[in-house]
Amino acid sequence: MSFQHIEPFPPTYDTQVAFDKRELQVILSLYGRMVAAGEWRDYGISSLKDMAVFSVFRRTAEFPLYRIEKRPKLRHRQGQYSVVTMDGQILKRGKDLRTVLRVLERKLIRAVE
């Protein structure tokens, strides 16, 4: 007679990083203002193992103009939020999402003038 070893709990799976509701409200508020100004036209959201990405596009079938990234592992270092250009340059990084997104709001002010 043989006995099987039964796990008391199901195996743990790596979870994906995602933006929460509050973060999405902040990002989509900026997105709406940029669409109204004619600067942005489309967006995409990716949830990966180590980061979440909100990409903004001028046109649907091109590379993203900007990526708003959330990397929780950097929370205690440079900050978990960053704004990255299409060529990989980090425009702003920090712990507060609203503060990080101000770099893009400056571009909105220039677009309206």
Mean pLDDT on 68-74: 90
Half-sphere exposure of 48 (CA within 13 A, CB side): 12
Q: Of 54, 51, 46, which Cα lies nearest the Cα of 27?
A: 54
pLDDT at 22: 94
pLDDT band at residue 74 using 50, 70 and 90 as cut-offs: confident
pLDDT at 15: 77
Query: Residue 44, by phi and psi: left (phi above 0), alpha (psi -120 to 50) or beta?
Result: beta
Q: What is the pLDDT of residues 95-112, one digit of tens each?
A: 999 999 999 887 666 555
Would you say 45 and 52 are in contact if contact means Cβ atoms under 8 Å apart?
yes
**Angstrom distance (rounded) from CA 80 to CA 69:** 8
pLDDT at 58: 85
Encode burial over 37-53: b for 16+ CB neighbours within 10 A, e otherwise: eebbeebeeeeeeebbb
pLDDT at 3: 53
pLDDT over 60 (residue 46): yes
